[in-house]
Amino acid sequence: MMNILLVDDHPLTNRGVASYLEETGRFQVCAQVTTLADAKRRIENGDPCMPDLVILDIILGEDNGLDFLPFLDDFCRRNKRPRPFVLVCSVLDETFRIQTALKLGAAGYVSKAEGEDELLAAIDAVLRGEVYVSERHSVKAMRDLGVFEKLSGREREVLDMVKRNKTSGQIAEELFLSVRTVENHLSNIYFKTGTKNKLDLMKL
C-alpha cells in the first residue's frame, strides 16, 4: 500500500482528500500537515512513516509550498534515502508556477478545480514515473520547458547517474529500485530526449 503525506493549510481539504484516497483501498495517508515546517519535520523524523508520495499545496499560510522541493532533494541526497514523488495540488494555476514546480522537481501538477477522478489519474501517472499536468494546462505549461525539465524527478536522478557512468545495477542499488524499474525509466528518458542509448545520454 502506498503511503501519502498531505500538505495543505486547510485541514478540511486534507481530511476530504485523505478520506477519498483511503476509501480506494490503495493508499494510506500516513500524515496530514498544514505548515511547511511540519512537512519538513515529518520527513526528517520519518514519523509515522516515510511517504512514497507527497501531495503539496503551494499556499501554506505565509510560506511558499514549493520551498519544500529543494529541502526534500537535499534531505534525501544527504541521507541516501529514496526521494518521494511530489504532486502539487493548488488553486494557483498560472503557467509560470506550474513550470517552476516542475523545474524544482515536482512530478506533476493538478488543479484543485479538478474532480476526484483527475486527482487519482494524476497520482497514478506520477507513481508510474510520468510527468502529469492537468489537461487544460499541459500544453501551455510544457511548451517552453527544455528537454531536462520534461523529465520526472526520478528520471533526472537516473540521467544524472548515467552521466556519471553508473551501470543500471549500480543505479538500482543507490536509488533502492529494481533493475527493471531503472530500465523502464531509461526507456522514458530515451523517448523524451530523442536519444537511443546511454552513450547518447552521456553527450547531453
> In a structure prediction context, what are the per-residue pLDDT tens digits for the chain, which is 204 residues long?
899 999 999 999 999 999 999 999 999 999 999 999 999 999 998 866 789 999 999 999 889 999 999 999 999 989 988 899 999 999 987 777 888 888 888 999 998 888 889 999 999 989 988 888 876 665 455 555 566 667 787 888 888 788 888 899 999 998 888 999 999 999 988 888 778 888 888 776
Instruction: Tell whether 107 and 194 lie within a shared domain.
Output: no
Predicted TM-score (pTM) above 0.85: no
Instruction: Tell whether 32 and 123 lie within a shared domain.
Output: yes
Number of folded domains that form the chain: 2
- Identify the helix (H) or strand (E) that includes residue 107: none
Instruction: Tell whether 97 and 59 lie within a shared domain.
Output: yes
CA–CA separation, 32 vs 195, rounded Å? 41
Instruction: Tell whether 94 and 176 lie within a shared domain.
Output: no
Domain that holds residue 26: 2-143
Domain boundary among 119, 143, 167: 143
C-alpha cell at 78: 544527504
CATH number of the domain residue 73 falls in: 3.40.50.2300
Angle, helices 95-103 vs 135-143, to 10°: value is 70
- Three-state DSSP state, 104: coil
Domain boundary among 143, 164, 179: 143
